A and B are shown apart, each in its own frame.
Chain A
């Protein structure tokens, strides 16, 4: 009885936590500063700071994403300036990995800011970090430690979507069904069915063996 009750309460809490999670809005790209394929611009093994001018910071931005590749990411600090006025800033602690890093920033006020200078400071490096972007001839390049880099770094400006994850459930289910041997939304239902089976089997076993 006690085990059954604990299990029921636990499952209810999980369901509640999931529902609340899905009520949140996902981060979507409000603006991307390029549409080209990104290539390695520069690689550093020590602390570095680069600033990139002539950027547009959309209103409502809550995170910035940079193309940085490494196995164990450094600390990344981001500052956004309009003239010399600091609009927003954020910090991502070390330990991330992949080919991009998302740095949460203080929400940008309601007005889109143009032009903006975005500064990126990397410290506590745990290996080589490669900055991704695109090579440029005419547009102003990123300035790094007093000298220009061979191109501009890739930046995406993220803000919460208008709808919640719930509102995107249908589209997500459709996408989950693509790129598979037997494509179709039924794949999403299969996942749900498997998850329910997983919960049911585990719960049944817990009640049977631990009561």
Chain B
């Protein structure tokens, strides 16, 4: 650990800073590109903004976004903020590790040097007085429950202990730095108070990212389902009220930014498919791929599909406007790859925590054959076929995922009673039936958009394969079967809900949409109640 730490020279530190600044600039450029393109859209139904004559102010683009999109974003922020309050400090997946990463980065300007879990004295003290170890995974244990314990905690937090050493960040150490670099801002804003002040502000920052995720999901629906503005709201609210999204967006976890960037990528591709690939939209896709790669390693799963989408768009554009279109593809690929390459070079020069993790995930698995790996990944998502060796016993992969959808919160140790899972099958089956019916009714439209749908399918498949491969390589079987890992595709989940509502037909569609929103709202509220009863009951 110290060996790696001391190997970080001043040169690599500067490189780290350069890498960290790059995405921030890229984000600014990307956002400009997005907003300019987005807001040139013609008004579309009631949901679209009502200011046809921009005054030239910088605020015009924001005014032109549909009000419904803003409200969906606001709902997602409020929802994530609620979850950030009801979830006890550090009782969310890997939060101590992610907090340690930000803490070390903010205090020293260095990336973490080790994947061990020896956190800073200040964090260790807080974890100890919050009974973190006793509460985690043990639903018989509640958080601190007396005023005396609260006073002890406050006294412990008031002691000025070191926050900079030793530089361990547990499972977070291998992750790229973008999210953590952004989180240093709320961390430092709260650094005048206690460690819990910083944590609360950092969680709220994640909540803002949750709002952006819902916003991009809404805009994705606007591009993919242009004929039914009311359905955008169903899908947008469906995303904003999803409990797992809110839980993770109410936590200190790079998943929050991963969801935002992934959803923005789906949106930008949908936009390019609908309006054609331009230099700006190609750059935007490139920037988003770069941001995603600098956010969380699992984003790699989306990249092949996104590149395929760019390729399809370029070929389509080349047919209409000649071979110069290939320059846009090259530009996007260049923008996408440069920051990721810089980060990997920096990582290699300073100990290679990320590279070690990547190579470990790739080569240190249980040494199964490729067919066994394929069989395992298949069974994670689909029923086992004859001849496959069982990867699950007494339960199937799809059943595990469905239980995840119904709800696993906190450190995934907080679940509804088994009967709830059975009852949930009814509305899930109804939504699935409406969705299939909607697809069947729009066969011809799907056929004309087959390449776009293929690109989304490859993006989703990429993420599923990465999760499956990680799980197959893991020393703890099935630890990657977590709903949050598939939430980079939450824009598609919004589309499923919107299409399900449309499946009910023109007359009953809005009513079905209302029922779907009510269902997701009820799911969210009961999930919150479950978490409150688990930790404070």
- Chain A interface (Cβ within 8 Å of chain B)? 2-3, 6-7, 10-11, 14, 17-18, 21, 26, 29, 65, 67, 69, 71-72, 74-75, 92-100, 102, 123-127, 156, 165, 168, 172, 175-176, 178-181, 183, 187, 190-191, 194-195, 197-199, 201-202, 204-206, 208-211
Residue with the highest number of chain B CB atoms closer than 10 Å, among A26, A65, A127, A205: A205
Minimal beta-carbon separation of A68 from chain B (angstroms): 10
A180 touches B196 (CB 8 A): yes
Stretch of B178-186, B254-262, B446-454, B513-521 that contacts chain A: B513-521
Chain B residues with Cβ below 8 Å from A7 are: 514, 518
Cβ 8 A contact of A71, one of B194, B476, B522: B476
Contact sample, A vs B, 19 pairs, CB 8 Å cutoff: A10-B515, A14-B518, A14-B521, A26-B537, A98-B411, A98-B412, A99-B137, A126-B477, A127-B476, A178-B149, A178-B150, A179-B150, A179-B196, A180-B196, A181-B196, A198-B75, A202-B240, A205-B71, A209-B46
Minimal beta-carbon separation of A67 from chain B (angstroms): 8
- With an 8 Å Cβ cutoff, the count of chain B residues facing the other chain is 82
B200 touches A180 (CB 8 A): yes
B229 touches A201 (CB 8 A): no
B413 touches A205 (CB 8 A): no
A202 touches B145 (CB 8 A): no
Closest to B126 in A: A179
- Chain B interface (Cβ within 8 Å of chain A)? 46-47, 68, 71-72, 74-75, 78-79, 81-82, 85-86, 88-89, 130, 136-140, 142-147, 149-150, 153-154, 193-194, 196-197, 199-200, 229-230, 232-234, 237, 240-241, 392-395, 399-400, 403, 408, 411-413, 415, 418, 476-479, 481, 510-511, 513-515, 517-518, 521-522, 524-526, 528-529, 532-533, 535-537
B392 touches A126 (CB 8 A): yes
Q: How far does the alpha carbon of A172 sit from the alpha carbon of B230 in the complex, in Å?
A: 40
Closest to B46 in A: A209
Cβ 8 A contact of A97, one of B146, B197, B392, B413: B413
Cβ 8 A contact of B510, one of A98, A191, A197, A210: A210
A168 touches B413 (CB 8 A): no
Closest to A69 in B: B137
B143 touches A98 (CB 8 A): no
Closest to A173 in B: B536
Q: How far does the alpha carbon of A11 sit from the alpha carbon of B171 in the complex, in Å?
A: 41
Minimal beta-carbon separation of B243 from chain A (angstroms): 12
Q: A10-B522, A95-B394, A205-B237 are in contact. List 15 more A-B contacts (CB 8 A).
A: A26-B533, A71-B478, A72-B392, A100-B137, A127-B476, A175-B145, A175-B536, A178-B146, A181-B200, A191-B528, A194-B85, A198-B82, A198-B241, A205-B72, A209-B68
Cβ 8 A contact of B143, one of A74, A165, A178, A190: A178
A209 touches B518 (CB 8 A): no
Q: How far does the alpha carbon of A74 sit from the alpha carbon of B395 in the complex, in Å?
A: 9
A100 touches B522 (CB 8 A): no
Cβ 8 A contact of B522, one of A17, A94, A191: A17
Tell me whether A181 and B197 are in contact in the complex, defined as CB-CB below 8 angstroms, given that A95-B403, A205-B71 are known contacts: yes
Chain A residues with Cβ below 8 Å from B399 are: 95
B514 touches A210 (CB 8 A): yes
Chain B residues with Cβ below 8 Å from A6 are: 511, 514-515, 518
Chain A residues with Cβ below 8 Å from B86 are: 176, 191
B526 touches A98 (CB 8 A): no
Closest to A156 in B: B140
Tell me whether A172 and B85 are in contact in the complex, defined as CB-CB below 8 angstroms, given that A99-B413, A100-B140 are known contacts: no
Chain B residues with Cβ below 8 Å from A125 are: 393
Chain B residues with Cβ below 8 Å from A191 are: 82, 85-86, 528, 532
Cβ 8 A contact of B78, one of A93, A98, A178, A198: A198
Minimal beta-carbon separation of B512 from chain A (angstroms): 10
